[in-house]
Chains A and B, each alone.
Chain A
Amino acid sequence: MIINHPLLGPCDAQEFVYKGDFRLIDRPDGMAESAEAAFFDYLYLRENPAGAHRELWFHEQGDRSWLVVTRNTVTHEITNVELARDVARSMGRSR
C-alpha cells in the first residue's frame, strides 16, 4: 500500500504506523459539564464503516508527521491524505 504523503510524495505503508479513527485528535474538554458522556463517546464509540474511513497514520520511519488518511476499508484505496495538524486547525483548534 502506498500513502501519498502531502509533503514527501508517495511513501510505502511499511514506513508508517497505524493509530486509529482520526477523531482521536479531537479530545473533549475534560472540564466541561458533559465531560463524562463526551469521554465515553471519545473512548469507546467508533464508526466501523465498510467504505471510506478517515484514520490517523504516523510516519515513524520518515518525517515523524501525523497524517489523516481517508482509506476505503473494503478496497484499501486511499483517496485523500492530509497533515493531522491542518485537519485539527480546520476544526478550529490552535494546533
Chain B
Amino acid sequence: MHDLVPMTALGASHPRSDTIGPVTITESPDWALASVAARLGQEANCQTALEKGLGVKVPGIAAYVSAETLAAFWIGPHVWMLEASYATRPDLAVQIKSACADTASVTDQTGAWVRFDLTGESLSRVMERLCNLDMGKLQPGHARRTLIEHLSCFVIRHAESITLYGPRSAAQSLHHSLITAAKSVF
C-alpha cells in the first residue's frame, strides 16, 4: 500500500487563503468536475437524460445553474461542465455517463483545474484588472471562459462571490496574478 499524501494544486497540504483588503482569495480543492458534450443529433436527448438522471437543469448560454448536490455551467454550444463537491460525488464522470449513455461524451476534468473562490467587497475592481469581462454588468448565475494573464479560465459570478477555474498546471501563476491584482487595488 502506497502512503501518499494529498497535495493541493499550490503544492501544500492545506488550501491557501489570502485576505487582501476586503477581498479573500481561497483555493478550493475538493471539487469534482466533468464535461459533457452532447453528440451530434442527440442534443435534446442528452439534456433530457441529464435532467432526468441527475436532476440538474441544463444551463443556457453562458449560464450557471445549481441543484442540491450538483451544479452545471455552459462552456460551449451543447457542452457543459458539471460540478459537485468531491465528498458527495467522487465518481461524478461515471454517474453522468451512466445517466446520459450514448447521447454524450463525458470527460473527467477533476484533476485538470484549480479553483479559487473570491469573496468580499469590490470584487469587480480586482477582476477588471484581470480579464475582459465586465463584472459590473455580469449578473449572478453567469459563467464565461476568458483570458486571465494568458491563462484560459472559467469565471462564474455568484451573488456574493466569484469562482475561478484555471489550468491546474499553472495554479501558482494564476494565484500570483490574483494576489498581484488584489494588492494593486487595495
Contacts and interface: CB of A to CB of B under 8 A. Distances in A.
Contact of B132 (A7, A12, A63): A12
A61 B145 CA distance: 6
A95 B40 CA distance: 8
A30 B131 CA distance: 44
A83 B77 CA distance: 10
Contact size class for B?
10 to 19
B147 A61 contact: yes
Interface residues of A, number: 15
B10 interface: no
A65 B132 contact: no
A8 B76 contact: no
A15 B62 contact: no
Given A15-B132, A61-B152, A7 B77 contact: yes
A62 interface: yes
A11 interface: yes
Contact of B146 (A61, A64, A83, A95): A61
Contacts of A63: 62, 74-77, 79, 145
Listed from nearest, the 6 A-B pairs whose CB atoms lie closest are A63-B76, A61-B147, A64-B76, A12-B132, A7-B61, A61-B152
Interface of B: 40, 61-62, 74-77, 79, 132, 144-147, 152
